[in-house]
Structure 1
């Protein structure tokens, strides 16, 4: 069978994998179901060696979520442009609806809410197969055909898109008690994966980047006399004045008061 028509299933529930394997009309659709996997890590290892055209995947799974898998596949495309980017269809539980919305923004072909009717799944698979074939005919990387992800995230790769969202959160909410797990949760990815993305995309850790943003804003506020020093500290996320002073001194070599005096001492 044509390689462009191969597919895999990824779901941590064995009964779902078995049900999809048995009840979907794969042969009638012209698709060869080659393997089933219980999580994204296993599936990604397989895809490194055996590219397929279509991936039917759950979103929330242990080890590697469906969204992380999709992002890694896009990252792989940058390093291995010879490997095709499969068309990804997500299956999502009702409580995971926002995950599915995010998946579409990252370039997924479609999402289906569990429990989905067999006819719905087959229609989505037929669409994904058609898109893969059209991409192949036009000699473009699968995933870039018309409709694959237009008007979702521009030309940004998913990793870059996620980091842009994360940095926007930091620059607008630096005054909150933010933690890596908070940001990761809102982006529907694991903290470990987000931590790797921060290093990869910015060269800095989450803590380092947040500290830089807070410092820049603290310096800007201290350059004005409209706020007391303890108010500046609270505004940038440090409610304890002593800790704020120690942190500021560690990063600038000056106390907040010294920085303010120096600033006004140079103003003409």
Structure 2
């Protein structure tokens, strides 16, 4: 039943309207009658009727003022004004306020029936639209994670246009800060040799667990986005707030996942100044790096991941890396030379210098601090290694030799 309120200062008209409505046997219940505008307003607040029959000329608050107040309370309430020929100018003002229809006095049964049937049809249409809107919103909420992943995967692979990116991000409630962004691509490598017992990981469960661990690590890097691409890489798009923290982030992720889940990871990361426009190119570059990793033997890949994770240790040695992956240092040294054409020290030095370069781009970090952060306990030895790898000293690089 649809609720109706009748507001008119003449008792005879109120009774006549109510009697006619009962005779019409429509799906309408008269929940109240008001003799002036103030009483009518209180009844609207109390009953929230869907239909309001209101006389324009009433004491205290006239019909036009009442309509304005009702629209503030319930804009969906259908207002039908009751007026005489001598009040038609007021009726025109009411129409400008968005009333549904009007009835001329004296009101006859057929006229009232036509207007009320039209009102009921309008209410049923509104109800149907609201239910459909609720259903579509519910479906959207249920499927939002999948839709986001599909969109982000398409965006990273260059399938979505720049205009569509903006529109779909708004529709899918995706937000990212403007400015410098970073991309992380993560791929599970295998079980850690430190694992005391066997875990039979389902692939999807494993990816879910790794993703959740990394999301916790990135809590301070908000707002960030994460999704799994079509090749089951776990991808993160995050704001790059600090050069120093960014350099440490892959190492932190690999170390934490290995500690918590006893799983080795491949993590490739790169930052961009191009905002959303540049991340697709970087994503493809990082995926290519990861896909090229299998060219190394699994043992070399594990060794590289261990070095990449622990490169900041001043006393990191070939023996420690070999022990971590369960082979002899002599065999590991042979594998490194076969697969990478470099010794353990060569690879470690190049990796440390690579990270030092990123830190040197931040002028607030002193050179001796850079040395300590990449695993050297003395600035002089660090400078010697840096120059051997790049051909210039850290000071020359910072002063512009990088050009």
**TM-score of the two chains, using structure 2 as the length reference:** 0.31
Answer 1 or 2: which has greater strand percent. Answer: 2
The higher relative CO (CA closer than 8 Å, separation ≥ 6) is in 1
Larger Rg: 2
